[in-house]
Chains A and B, each alone.
Chain A
């Protein structure tokens, strides 16, 4: 959460609620909606590290609100984040552990595991598809995110198929 907030602040100074709204509009419903408390906690940590600083702005009839600015150190940290390559997802699949280990215990057989998992993946796929149908077609970012998720799911299903074919 740190870097996205820094990136948004590098665009323009903002207060906590504005940051939450910006995240929601950009990524759409596909992205987990952030908790406002979580945002303030993160901002506090960033301020402690010297990446942002805050200024209190007075408001009529309301408590003061804090507007955050990015610092030079913050910009530098953001630069480093942008420039370093991003790791791909690692296969550390929990299901794979189940698939390999569970039959040894005699608690379940692989066929049942695979079938249950496949149905679950398909259910997820249906959710994603319905989500994509609900999403505003103009929101390319959100749709791409959903498509990425779908492709990952398809890969998981293909892998599932391989597991079923290869494991006795």
Chain B
């Protein structure tokens, strides 16, 4: 995949909210490049602008200044509807509160983006059956979201985000509302799709979740404080992870 344009390239991205006439900067000049197949975690304290950043990358929020390039195309100048079309073709979103469409069945929720992307109903159904099967939810296809547990809902949301083979999966605190068991399930799935080559940008404050990523971007006050790969730990003796526990013993 080398030689391709990066999946995401943000140049000097700035977002300033107007709150009661007072400008409140949320993102202050962020440069970020994500190559195809990368898994980037964005961390930072609350209010550091990480949600705003990921919303801007997905076109959910408009940028104040700066450039956003998706897959080699400039996106920040797009209109709201053009963004919507771009989203349905190239971006999958996973949110903290799952955000399944309440009055649609699980099957409909997963098929919706495929249909929106131009797939035929049959293609959409096949894709949905495959995804739900992979996520172990094949038997819940006709259930309504309210009948599912939080973890199941988030897995459905993940299936929905992946329905269109998006170039980019954006996740905003995907485990923020889950207990540890469900968190583990969702993480395993994220790891799986990443291994299959999926590019992922994920906002999280959970270090367990962030440690899934190849690379961590730390935001502080709307600026990137750190951006780099998570190193491999050099273990003494090269055997067990026992040292890790001892460190805190």
Q: Is the CB of B220 within 8 A of A164?
A: yes
In chain B, positions 111-131 with a C-beta closer than 8 Å to chain A are none
CB contacts (< 8 Å) of B216 on chain A: these are 118-119, 122
Q: Is the CB of A118 within 8 A of B240?
A: no
Q: Is the CB of B245 within 8 A of A32?
A: yes
Q: Which one, A51-59, A65-73, A77-85, A148-156, is touching chain B?
A: A148-156
In chain B, positions 221-249 with a C-beta closer than 8 Å to chain A are 225-226, 228-233, 235, 239-248
Q: Is the CB of B220 within 8 A of A165?
A: yes
B22 adjacent to chain A (CB < 8 Å): no
Interface residues on chain B, size class: 20 to 34
Residue interface bits B169-193, CB-to-A below 8 A is 1, else 0: 0000000000010000000000000
B151: min CB distance to chain A, Å: 17
Give the dominant DSSP class at B's interface.
mixed
Residue interface bits B132-162, CB-to-A below 8 A is 1, else 0: 0000000000000000000000000000000
Contact of A126 among B211, B245, B247 (CB under 8 A): B211
- Contact A129 B208, CB 8 Å, known A30-B241, A149-B244, A161-B45: yes
CB contacts (< 8 Å) of A150 on chain B: these are 207-208
B14 adjacent to chain A (CB < 8 Å): no
Q: Is the CB of A152 within 8 A of B248?
A: yes
A89 adjacent to chain B (CB < 8 Å): yes
Q: Is the CB of A124 within 8 A of B233?
A: yes
- Contact A115 B226, CB 8 Å, known A125-B211, A127-B233, A129-B211: yes
B88: min CB distance to chain A, Å: 33
Bound together, the chains give a CA A29 to CA B44 distance in angstroms of 32
Contact of B242 among A30, A111, A152 (CB under 8 A): A30
Bound together, the chains give a CA A23 to CA B44 distance in angstroms of 40
B206 adjacent to chain A (CB < 8 Å): yes
In chain A, positions 117-168 with a C-beta closer than 8 Å to chain B are 118-131, 145-147, 149-150, 152-154, 157, 161, 164-165
Task: A111-B226, A131-B244, A150-B208 are known; give 10 further A-B pairs, CB within 8 A.
Answer: A29-B242, A30-B241, A31-B245, A115-B218, A119-B229, A119-B231, A122-B211, A122-B216, A123-B211, A161-B44
A interface residues, Cβ below 8 angstroms from B: 29-33, 89, 111, 114-115, 118-131, 145-147, 149-150, 152-154, 157, 161, 164-165
Q: Which 7 A-B pairs have the closest CB atoms?
A: A32-B242, A115-B226, A125-B211, A126-B211, A131-B241, A29-B240, A122-B230
